[in-house]
Structure 1
């Protein structure tokens, strides 16, 4: 491809940098408009469909063509906290676009976990973030919500991008446990996969457990331990980067006052938006995973039913988890609140 057409393609974010191929050291791009972003729960092949003819660009060729000054901000989350809803809120033409769990970042995480050299991982992450930061034409910025498998790399990303800010979004521990319980077997298995990744990433240190202890834990204990490890990391990020760059938000505040939360998030990220563009945003009236009408009352009803079904198990694990948190010095509520 001639240099000028490639430069034009890479000037804006309509061509999503979708994958990183470590063997060929290249990026795979696919073209997505706003409606496709909005319709997909996550911007993964599962929801978008496989791209059989991606635009493949060598990493070094791509990074030479992109601006290194495009604003990029983050929603970092610990799962089941309405993060997809918040990310959808940033789909505002002329203002921003929210990227929901781009696979590119998962590819870099996977490469790191397979033993890639740290310096090489940092370079690919830096280049990948520049590629994701390309705004939609006419927009001010990109806001990316990575999968929470990215959390171990979040401090590095913020260190490399000193103008980037982040919102750390989490569900309160009781709400998180209710979510895990009501989602059933697949979610309980996912929590064990999450724990495996946290161990690989070195995030599980100094919680007072030996590796063999995890095999003797119930599903909800495993879920609680994963939550505590991420909460400790979030607390450390607030201390490291300060409230000027980091704001925290819990899922209950977000779902109770979504428009106020989005307005505050826009201000935190330095984005200019008229209040009328936020009022009645469709992201806050539809189910972020399955579509269809959905609001905070529906969510409350779901959680109430799950609490009635699993309340005894949840209550026992909560007592245990709070004791672990106290011993390890992990706050159940984070400082630097967005609201």
Structure 2
């Protein structure tokens, strides 16, 4: 398939945009059929493992062919991480109604470009990516694109470019967020700091720490500040886009998955009844671990794991929650996103 034409790349939605070249004048595509998408945790190189063909094309050639490509409605899931976004994405893979994709790497690439320079050329690169992502796999399907939270910078411009698009803003409370980080041991602590550094590079919420003060933060303090910047961002999106976005707390989704799923499908305009949503919620998707689909994983098991980690780290979690609450109150920042 290495001799695939640009026209074939553009017309076949199995060819996903993957990443822009260093100068932003070429776009690499990766061939990921529908059945493979459902098996992959995320649409990253780490998960492709060299098993999927890649082809590069120039932007001018892509733009010359893009008008002939099919297009469908595209909607988004943005999240604060560790809050059930992968589970929701899998539940929205409904052949004939919607196709979902989990964290296409190209959106992180575009987000990083926008952080460096929010100029017209990078907005045009985002526009081209959206045009390619919104190609349905089957006629009449909508596309649901769940983003990595390292791509949350694209939320505002993407919704401005696609006036008909809707977005779910999925988040957890702080204690759940911290416990979920701690479940992952050292790597969860490292990731918390990475999110903190990523978010403070573009968040309008100015935290006021100098370099020495940042070094003195514990891992969980840094993670809690990353959570706060995301909550603030979601609140700003809710104010800006009103009924086009839906704030959804993960606790509500896990407590009443059928209701949450029906609310999401209604927001996205998908042809799903309350019974359809209830059937999906009672089916195998919600009975498996979202990231390890060969593992049974009930709501009760998730609750037991959360309680065990929470009890083992109770003192640290309590101290960080109190510290962050005081910090947010001092800076006039809400701990819950609201329109």
TM-score normalised over the length of structure 2: 0.90
| Alpha-carbon shift at residue 157 of structure 1 (Å) | 1.2
| Alpha-carbon shift at residue 333 of structure 1 (Å) | 2.4
Is this contact kept in 2: 1:93–1:139, CA < 8 A? no
The residue number in structure 1 matching 2:272 is 273
CA distance in 1, matches of 2:117, 2:332: 32
| 1:322 lines up with 2:325 in the alignment | yes
List aligned pairs for 1:165-244, cutoff 5 A: 165-201=166-202, 203=203, 205-242=205-242, 244=243
CA distance in 1, matches of 2:126, 2:65: 17
The residue number in structure 1 matching 2:133 is 132
| 1:310 lines up with 2:313 in the alignment | yes
| Alpha-carbon shift at residue 294 of structure 1 (Å) | 0.8
CA distance in 1, matches of 2:213, 2:261: 41
SS in 1 for 2:28: strand
The residue number in structure 1 matching 2:260 is 261
SS in 2 for 1:10: helix
List aligned pairs for 1:149-160, cutoff 5 A: 149-160=150-161
The residue number in structure 1 matching 2:91 is 89
| Alpha-carbon shift at residue 24 of structure 1 (Å) | 6.3
List aligned pairs for 1:71-150, cutoff 5 A: 71-113=73-115, 115-116=116-117, 118-150=119-151
The residue number in structure 1 matching 2:288 is 286
Is this contact kept in 1: 2:168–2:247, CA < 8 A? yes
SS in 1 for 2:313: helix
Which structure 1 segments of 5+ residues have no match?
A: none
Distance 1:59 1:282, change over 3 A: farther
SS in 2 for 1:232: helix
CA distance in 2, matches of 1:127, 1:68: 14
The residue number in structure 2 matching 1:298 is 301
Distance 1:211 1:82, change over 3 A: same
Deviation per CA, 1:276-313, whole angstroms, max 9, x where unpaired?
Answer: 55413432111111221112111101100001100011
Is this contact kept in 1: 2:20–2:106, CA < 8 A? yes
CA distance in 1, matches of 2:117, 2:247: 31
The count of residues paired between Structure 1 and Structure 2 equals: 331
List aligned pairs for 1:39-50, cutoff 5 A: 39-50=39-50
Is this contact kept in 1: 2:192–2:226, CA < 8 A? yes
Is this contact kept in 2: 1:24–1:58, CA < 8 A? no
Structure 1 stretch displaced more, 179-188 or 62-71: 62-71
CA RMSD of aligned residues (A): 2.3
| Alpha-carbon shift at residue 69 of structure 1 (Å) | 5.3
